[in-house]
Amino acid sequence: MEIDGEHLRIMRRGRIASISLQSLASPPSIRKGMLGTALTITSDVHNDVTLKGASHLDARAFSKELKEAWVRFNLLALEKEAARLERVLAAVRALEGPTSYPAACKVSPLLDDARALDTSLLSKLQSEAIGPEATARIAVVRKFAGDPRTARANGISAFVTAELDRWKDFFDTIESKPLTPEQRLSIVVDEDATLVLAGAGSGKTSVITAKAAYLVKAGIRRPEEILLLAFAKNAAAEMSERVEARSGVPIVARTFHAIAYDIIGIVEGSKPALADHATDDLAFTNLIKQILKDLVRSQSAVSKAIIQWFAHFLVEPKTEWDFNTKHEFYTHMESQDLRTLQGEKVKSYEELQIANWLYENGVEYEYEPVYEHKIPETGRRDYQPDFRLTESGIYIEHFGVRRQKMSNGSERLVTAPFVDRDKYLAGMVWKRQVHAEHETILIETYSYERQEGRLLTGLAEKLAPHVTLKPRPLDTIYDRIVELKQVDEFSKLLGTFLRKFKSGGYSLQDCEAKSVRMKQGQRARAFLDVFAPVFEEYQRRLDGRIDFEDMILRAAHYAETGRYVSPFRHILVDEFQDISQSRARLVKALKAQHPDVRVFAVGDDWQSIFRFAGSDIHLMRHFGREFGGSFDGEAGLHRTVDLGRTFRSVDQIAFAARTFVLRNPAQIQKRIVPAGTATEPAIRIVTVSRNEDERKLSDVLSALATGPNPEAKPATVLLLGRYRFLEPDMQGLRRCFSQLRITFKTIHASKGLEADHVILLNADSGRTGFPSEIVDDLLLSLVSPEEEAYQNAEERRVMYVAMTRARHTMTILASNARPSAFVTELKNDPAYGIVAAPGAEQEAHVCGECGGRLLGVTGQDGRIWYRCEHVQHCANLLPACPSCATALPRRADGTMETRCTCGASYPTCPECEDGWLVERSGTYGRFLGCVRYPTCVGKAKISAAERPVARRPRRRTRN
């Protein structure tokens, strides 16, 4: 062995090996033996090397020399990196009590330095060589390199605690009331991406304005380095004024479009002209309507696609086979508003197809006319075929049957799951016999024909011998569609789709492929056949001008490619739940320009209700993935702060609204601290019978006007409607209730507002009901990154917004016959703790025919009748109890009696679920017949022991 500079040379049997002094794990060891001294070298990278039989004096001297060389080598290596080590060590120690928030983007470079130093030097230094003091200093850096997350977390905790104390006076005085602990925390937290969950009435504007002022006052940023973004001009102006008024800091808040327009102007030298409709949603919708109209009149191929859509795909093409119960099927059909081009409502999608085909081809018809021949007494209602062609007198019956292959190869006809097959097939036979006997022509169509894709072609073939088709001009049909007001809502759907299509950077091929994956079928294809030419024409009419989607995307492109150099280091975004794909792209592009840019977003995913304007809730739900930083191999790093406290709603409203919106498990969980405790029921549901809307609204306003008002000023009342056409006569209401300050808003327009009392109008079911069947159209999922799987997801958030406008009370006016699914949920689930207005609720009765509800109505004869809510589909109609004339007798379990709450009882009908028997006269004398006759022909003989009189139980005396 010999020392050769920084290496130890070893010669063994003529071979020479070299070991670096850096790799020595410890000084050499010597061991005296009978045959001489053994000297052993221990290395990190080689096996131990032992020299045996050396002279003890030589071995000891060599060992000493080697140790001195080894120590010199380690100390020299440490000295070469001393400055770097000191810098890293100081930064690591500063993390124990940081003077600024240790965001991932700030600590990551330090971690990279520490690990590089550890790899190149620190891990190779030997503590015995460098001494305990240097070893202790190195250990601090090595510990940080090995567990940086704990070090950063401890640093964050230390900073936040100190900063909250340091800025206490600022937080106490920046707003009219001291900020809450949650608001203060959200301001001092300064992660790469910070999301502040600001529920309704939680003071989000206070947070974002205080954050901007804090950044400047704390010396973290200069005003020009802060980009404060709002979605609307008035919100941006209010925010700018509020920041300067509260803190004296001049920071100008801007809309996304304003900053995008500025970026384009800086890069291009001038700003392109803005399309007239860009700032006017109504003008935008009207432009889409005009494009549709012009395409119908100018391009025959496109006009056919447009008419096809309205005639056959405007509503969701579901049939009986898509449902398990009559009630589910009927509810869906009613929500779809199956109105034909001729104007009447039909009972199924397949009937709608047939009716519209007849209308398109100029075949005049009547829907469900009474059959021209009187049918002898059968116990049935008057026979009403589905269609009668008025010129030829031909009848059309559409039968809801499909073909089923049997195991032996034969076929049989089957009905939907909830339909009695034998009874239905018997009805088909009876109808054929009626037409045969009276020599009227019957054309039959079947559900299996639609299933096989030949319903309408088959109908054309069957009618050919009897009818001459006279197709109506396409523009005439379109005028009819306009007359039926079907174009308005479709134009809004097209407009929403167009904006999301552009802002998300989609292609038609993307949409077609997604429609196939989602199995949206012919309806999606029909929609895209209309959308494609509409989009092409829309782009052509821009004529060099830009809309807001173009504006944002062009600005994002300039930022991404570096043609625009951003001065911003902090990007503060208000109402973040409304952000779109294109806006998110712009924010990401600005963030990517500098490594230390932070995104601070304030929003409430529970209030994301502007999908029609392009907002994409998934950007907020996946905030970390979209905007977060990275640290120690962890991506999507961000911080979420939940403000929790509401300064608006009392507990009953705040908790009910929270429970309601969280029924969708995709919504982000947030805690709620209400503004106060209600002493009276805060949410009421008032049921409204037909034509009672004005009276019931007046009753509610009267109660509010005469009720206690703890404040000296007049109580504020906000009337909310899902649509603008629901606005009542406001002048009349203000005149009648001058002691109240009454306003009307659509729910969307009410966002950000509040009132002492809120009244929600027309919470009914239907296509333009609430939930709206239009807004949540599945077609919009073709231009969304992810489909919202939860039914009525956005409409549920709209309802949350409506509920949380109220400080003290909320009253919901809902149809007695067709209440909204939301109303039914709120009323039936005890978790909401909601009461009905006194005297407004009748006992709920289930319809034995379809599973719907039996509702009490007053007939033309002044008597009370109980009619199924699905009156268009279900013929169930029952009189009130003959004894009390108000309540509905119901079947008693385990007996053959039907009893009323008044005490009367009747024999139960043997044929139907709901009927009972009353005395009737017939050809053969007196008998007991069902009260539902002629719908039900249940009967029984009158026995001597049983008179057909209501029997009352003997009244019990109280002890």
The token duo for 898 is: 């039907």
Residue identified by tokens 């109008």 is: 761
Instruction: Cite the annotated binding site by residue number.
Output: 198-205
Cβ(189)–Cβ(160) below 8 Å:
yes
pLDDT at 951 over 70: no
How many degrees, rounded to 5, is the angle at CA 28 between CA 22 and CA 31? 165
The token duo for 507 is: 């292609």
The one-letter amino acid at 348 = S
Cβ(912)–Cβ(849) below 8 Å:
yes
Helix (H, G, I), strand (E, B) or coil at 22: helix
Which range (379-383, 536-540, 894-898) has the least confidence?
379-383
Inter-helix orientation angle 281-298/474-483, to 10°: 150
User: Which of 46-50, 119-123, 527-531, 619-623 is modeled with the greatest confidence?
Assistant: 527-531
Domains in the chain (CATH in brackets) are: 22-79 (no CATH), 81-156 (no CATH), 167-272+548-642 (3.40.50.300), 320-479 (3.40.960.10), 651-836 (3.40.50.300), 845-940 (no CATH)
The one-letter amino acid at 125 = L
pLDDT digits (tens, 9 = 90+) for 664-715: 998 888 887 777 788 778 899 998 887 788 999 999 999 998 877 666 688 9
Q: Give the mean pLDDT of 346-365.
A: 95
- The 8-class DSSP code of residue 698 comes to H
pLDDT value of position 672: 79
Q: Report the Cα 472 to chain-centroid distance in Å.
A: 41
The pTM of the full predicted model, rounded to 2 decimals, is 0.76
pLDDT value of position 261: 95
Distance CA 284, CA 292 (A): 13
Length of the chain: 959
More confident residue, 520 or 353: 353
Distance CA 450, CA 457 (A): 10
Distance CA 198, CA 210 (A): 14
pLDDT value of position 843: 65
Distance CA 740, CA 719 (A): 12
CA neighbor of 913 nearest in space, from 881, 891, 940: 891
pLDDT at 653 over 70: yes
Instruction: Cite the annotated binding site for ATP by residue number.
Output: 198-205
pLDDT digits (tens, 9 = 90+) for 764-821: 887 778 888 766 678 888 987 666 778 888 899 999 999 999 989 999 999 887 788 8
For 81-89, the CB contacts below 8 A with 24+ separation are: 81/117, 81/120, 81/121, 84/113, 84/117, 85/117, 85/121, 85/122, 85/137, 85/138, 85/141, 87/113, 88/113, 88/114, 88/117, 88/141, 89/137, 89/140, 89/141
pLDDT digits (tens, 9 = 90+) for 315-348: 878 888 899 999 989 888 877 778 999 999 998 9
Q: Which backbone phi and psi does 55 adopt, to 5 degrees?
A: -65, 140
pLDDT value of position 842: 55
Q: 894 vs 11, 474, 649, 908, 941, CA distance in Å?
A: 106, 62, 49, 11, 21
Average pLDDT, the chain: 88
Which range (71-75, 637-641, 783-787) has the least confidence?
783-787
Cα distance from N-terminal residue to C-terminal residue, the chain: 117
- The 8-class DSSP code of residue 615 comes to B
pLDDT at 931 over 70: yes
Q: Which backbone phi and psi does 305 adopt, to 5 degrees?
A: -65, -40
Q: How would you classify residue 560: left for phi > 0, otherwise alpha for psi between -120 and 50, otherwise beta?
A: alpha
Distance CA 585, CA 559 (A): 10
Residues 6+ apart with CB under 8 A from 429: none
Q: Give the mean pLDDT of 72-87.
A: 89
